[in-house]
Structures are given as C-alpha cells and as structure tokens.
Chain A
Amino acid sequence: MINGATLATIVLMASGTYLTRILGYLALRNRSLSPRTLYILESVPGCVLISVIAPAFVSDRPADLIALAITVAAACRFSILPTVLIGIVATGMLRYLFGA
C-alpha cells in the first residue's frame, strides 16, 4: 500500500512545508518591531489573501467574472456562510446558462 519512493517524497515535501510554517515565526519572535514594521506586517494578511484569489479576477470565462462580481457584492453585505452559498449558486447557475 505504501511505496518507498512515494513515502520519501511525501516526507521530504512535508518537511519543506513545515519549514515554511515556522521560519517566519522563528525569525520575528522576540524582536521588538517598530511601528513602521508593524504597519507593513499588518498589510501582509490582505496581500496574501488577495493574491491567492487573484486568478478569479482574470478568468477568461464571462460566467465566472459575473459570478465574481455578484460574490464581491455579497461579501460587502453578508457574513461568510450566506456569501459562500450565494457565490456557489451564482457560479453554478451562470456556468450552466453560459454553457461553460
């Protein structure tokens, strides 16, 4: 059920991933940060989140772009659960209508 080369790849890959999770913390713990550095760090979460979803903004499917606009509008008003449901339903329906 477990192949040796597969196991080695998974362990090495997982070790690398764990390093990415702890290195940033280890580098900055116990440092007193200037207000300027804190300001920069405070913008990191938004920058990472918006980068992860950036491909949705340049989709080449019209149905997806319209659905994204609807989801953005929903996100401005509602909490997570209604926004997720509106996003899924809008995307599914528009893809069906556009035949994508």
Chain B
Amino acid sequence: MSAAHQATETASDPAPRSASQEVRRGLRASLPVLFGVIPFALVLGAQAAQKGLSSVEMPLMAGLNFAGGSEFTAIRLWTSPPHLLLIAAMSFLVNSRHLLMGAALAPFLRDVPRRKALAALFFMCDESWALTLADARRRMLNRISMSYYLGVSAGLYLCWVTFTTLGVVLAPVIGDMERYGFDMAFTAVFLVLLRGMWRGVRASRPWLASLVVAALTYRLVPDGAWYVAAGALAGLVCAAFTAPKRGAAHD
C-alpha cells in the first residue's frame, strides 16, 4: 500500500486506530449478538443430535458452512442417509440473500485485494455484515474496517462452532429454550441496526415492501425457506422504482 494511499485513508477516518484495537472493537460489538447466537446454537446442536449427527459432524457443518438458517433447514430435512442434493439446494436457497449482501458490500471492498476479500467473505453472515456496514456508515467511510469485521466474525464463529457442539453433547438436558424469550434477541439486534440505517420515511419505502412481502410469504408459503429471498427481492424492486433518476442518494 503506497504512502499516499495510507495518508488519504487516515485523513478520511475520523478516528484512526490500530488493527488490534479494531479487532477488539469488533469482538466487543459481537458480544450483545452472542446472547441470541448461543441459545440458537444449543438448540441446533440438540436437534442435530436427535437426527443422529455426532459431536464431530456438527462442528464440521457449523465450521464449514457457518450459516445458521441453512443448518436448521438441513437438520430438519436430515434423514439417514441424507438426501444430498435436496439439502444442498435448500441451503443455497436459504442463503441466497448472501448474493445481495455480497453485492452491497462490494463497493466497500474496493481497497481490499481480491484474494483477501474472498477469504474474508467466508465469514460473512447476517450479523457480521450488518454490524460492519453499520459501522462504516456511522463513521461516514466508503470502505469497511477489515479488522473490525474480522473481530466481529471471530466472536461469532468461535461461539457458533463451540455452542452447536455443546448442543449435541447437552442434547438430553436442553429443553425448550424458546420459552424463555431468547429468540427475541435476534429481532432486537436487527431492529437496532435498522434504526441506525434509517434515512427518513421516503428512503424506507423498500423496507416496507420487504416486510409485507416477507411476512405474507412466510404465512402463505408452507416451505419456510422462501420468505427472506422474496422479501429482499420485493425491496430491491421497490428501490429500483423509487430511486431518484439522478443525483442525491439520500433525501
């Protein structure tokens, strides 16, 4: 990286920090999210144990796939032996939102070499992506803080692999954690992130389109995998229709 490049980067950053400070800041940011991740991971592990997955196979899935929604889907569809193509196709569908997320992240990764970006994207999940983009916006930067992102990802990844495995081991004693309200943690985190992205009523019309279409799809389509893709697409279409013809991106 050239000295000039470094200088502009520092100039555009309101609060320059060292890489290790950024990693720690990311780790701290991941902590509240773990409240939601841990019960979710324990429940997944317990369900996987019921389907016959071992305490080696579960961390293998959690560590290589690292996408909770698709793992719940896979475990629900799991048989012995598993329907390989069905499970792969359904998890691709559940994770299709990543296509849009990666596209939205692309302009923020301009400075990052391709190989490094491809490695970092392995860890992209709803939470790491949303926290990192929200962080870049809050600091008015047109790039993400890679160290912050890796800090968030490290917290989430270690927690996910550890607690899904614990879920397999503790399957007999894990009751219905949902009863205690832990499932609201995800919704709470996402609501706060949404507030941070709020740019006025006009700019939020695509959100409303997403909410309505995703909710209707969830209620009306029996297969649980479609609603995120349908909602995200509806929002995208709405944004395309309501985008200003030229000029300002914000109201």
Chain A interface (Cβ within 8 Å of chain B)? Answer: 1-3, 5-29, 31, 33, 35-36, 38-58, 67-68, 71-72, 74-76, 78-81, 83-95
Residues of A within 8 A of B65 (CB): 10, 13-14, 17
Distance of A38 Cα from B142 Cα, bound (Å): 12
Distance of A31 Cα from B106 Cα, bound (Å): 9
| Cβ-defined partner of B117 (8 Å) among A19, A25, A35 | A25
| Cβ-defined partner of A24 (8 Å) among B98, B126, B215, B228 | B98
Residue of B nearest to A68 (CB): B187
Distance of A22 Cα from B95 Cα, bound (Å): 12
Q: Return 13 A-B CB contacts under 8 Å, by A number.
A: A1-B55, A10-B60, A17-B70, A20-B102, A23-B102, A24-B103, A25-B106, A44-B239, A45-B133, A48-B126, A50-B211, A54-B215, A92-B179
Given contacts A47-B206, A80-B189, A84-B36, contact A9 B84 (CB under 8 A): yes
Residue of A nearest to B193 (CB): A49
Residue of A nearest to B198 (CB): A46
**Are B228 and A52 interface neighbours, CB within 8 A?**
yes
Q: Could you say which of B98, B101, B187, B246 has the most chain A C-beta atoms within 10 Å of its C-beta? A: B187
Residues of A within 8 A of B126 (CB): 48-49, 52
Beta-carbon contacts of B91-116 to A below 8 Å, as 1s and 0s?
A: 11001111111111111011000100
Count of A-B contacts judged by CB separation below 8 Å: 299
Is B170 an interface residue when CB atoms closer than 8 A count as contact? no
Distance of A49 Cα from B214 Cα, bound (Å): 11
Beta-carbon contacts of B208-251 to A below 8 Å, as 1s and 0s?
A: 01110111001100000001101110111001100111111100
Q: What is the minimal beta-carbon distance from B122 to any residue of chain A, in angstroms?
A: 6
Residues of B within 8 A of A87 (CB): 181, 184-185, 187-188
Residue of B nearest to A27 (CB): B103
Q: Could you say which of A25, A26, A31 has the most chain B C-beta atoms within 10 Å of its C-beta? A: A25
Residues of A within 8 A of B122 (CB): 18, 21
